[in-house]
Amino acid sequence: MNLYLRLLWSLLRAWRLGPLRAGATLERQLRVLPNDLDINGHMNNGRYLTVVDLMLIEYFARTGFGRVLMRQGWRPMAGGSFISYRRGLQPLQSYTLRFRLDAADDRWNYMRFEFVSATGEICAAGYMKGAAVGRDGLVPNARSYALMGEHGFDLTTPLPAPVRDWLSAERGVIGAAW
C-alpha cells in the first residue's frame, strides 16, 4: 500500500471515529509492509517518521485543528523531531503506534510517539514538535486552541524532561560552528 493510500485510509478512519480532545492518546494497529523496508530487511528509519506524520494528520482531523488551519489560512509546520530505535520492526510484523500531544508552550506543540511490538516491547520512541504558521509567523497556541474549543489544555504545565533536554541539545546543534 503506497503512502497516498495510507493517507486516504487515515482520513477515512478519522472521519469514521469522530472527535478527539487534544492530549488524548491515539493508538493504531499497523503492519510493516514490503515498501517500508530498507536494505537490511527491517522497517526503514525514515519510514517511522512518515508513519508518525500520517498519525498526525488523523490527529489534526479528529481534534478539529485541521479545520481551524484551513479556515484561518494557516499551515502546519514541523519544527523538528527526535527518535530512538531499540528493536527493528520486521517484514509483515504488526505493531501499535501510540501518539499523543504531550506538552505545549506558547507556540510549539510536542507530540510523543511510541512504536510497540505485539509483545509490548517499545521498538522506537520519540517526540516531534509542530506549530501553526500564519502570515505573521508562528500562531500562539492560546489562539489556535481557543478556536478549536480546547480551553482545557494547560499551556502552563512544565515541559517533560525529555523535551527540555531535546530543546537544549537543539540550541547546541543549531548554534554549533563548523
Domain boundaries, the chain: 3-172
Q: Report how far residue 43's alpha carbon sits from residue 59's, in angstroms, rounded to the nearest whole number.
A: 23
- Averaged pLDDT score across all residues of the chain: 90
CA 51 to chain centre: 9
Residues 89/41, Cβ–Cβ less than 8 Å: no
Single pTM value for the model: 0.88
pLDDT over 90, % of the chain: 66
Long-range pairs for 157-160: beta carbons < 8 A, 24 or more residues apart: 157/103, 159/103, 159/105, 159/110, 160/102, 160/103, 160/110
In CATH, 3-172 is 3.30.70.1400: no
Q: Report how far residue 50's alpha carbon sits from residue 17's, in angstroms, rounded to the nearest whole number.
A: 22
Kindly report which listed range (57-61, 82-86, 161-165) carries the lowest average pLDDT score.
Answer: 57-61
Please identify which residue in the block is written with the cell numbers 506549530: 131
Residues 144/133, Cβ–Cβ less than 8 Å: no
How confident is the model over 120-142, as pLDDT tens digits? Answer: 999 999 999 999 999 999 999 99
